[in-house]
């Protein structure tokens, strides 16, 4: 019983703890089984990957700055953690937006390696 409670408390503490942007880089590198490349991430982010838009179409090629939705024109807050502390702190949001935006720009989901590369590049933006 005591052990169950201890495990439950540990699980709760783990889930209540917010993620940091670095946690996502670690997670994606682990899933990919290879180190990330910020240089590859930059190329991936700023050029079209099969779809009508690239990541930069909305987030601009300077993700420390605000962007605009390519279709609706709605302002988008900066994506780089250096200028927007809210980014990459919630796994559900991160997974939701990678799913949607990869489908929009690549017509498929992104690989763990692609996500790791983008994370490495975004973290390098100051």
Partner 1 sequence: MKTLIALPALLVFLALPAHADNYSVPKNAAFEEECTSCHMAFPPQMLHADSWRAMMNGLSKHFGTDASLDEKRRAAITDFLVANANGRKTGTTRDAAGNPLLRITETARFEKKHSEISAATFKRASIKSPANCTACHRQAAAGDYNERSINIPK
Residues forming contacts to partner 1 in the complex (CB under 8 A) are: 69, 71-74, 92, 96, 99-101, 103-104
**Cα–Cα distance, 9 to 12 (Å, whole number):** 5
Shortest Cβ 74–partner 1 spacing (Å): 6
87: exposed, middle or buried (Cβ count in 10 Å: 0-12, 13-18, 19+) = buried
Shortest Cβ 77–partner 1 spacing (Å): 10
Query: Among residues 22 and 71, whose Cβ is nearest to partner 1?
Result: 71
Query: Among residues 43 and 96, whose Cβ is nearest to partner 1?
Result: 96
* Beta strands in 2-48, from DSSP E residues, in sequence order: none
């Amino acid at each position: 019983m005591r052990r169950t409670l201890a495990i439950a408390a540990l699980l709760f503490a783990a889930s209540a703890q917010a993620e940091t942007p670095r946690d996502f880089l670690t997670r994606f590198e682990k899933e990919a089984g290879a180190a990330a490349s910020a240089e590859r991430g930059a190329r991936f982010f700023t050029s079209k990957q099969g779809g009508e838009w690239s990541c930069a179409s909305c987030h601009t090629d300077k993700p420390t700055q605000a962007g605009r939705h390519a279709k609706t024109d709605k302002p988008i807050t900066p994506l780089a953690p250096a200028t927007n502390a809210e980014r990459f702190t919630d796994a559900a949001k991160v997974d939701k937006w990678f799913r949607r935006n990869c489908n929009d720009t690549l017509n498929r989901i992104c690989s763990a390696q692609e996500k790791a590369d983008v994370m490495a590049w975004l973290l390098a933006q100051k």
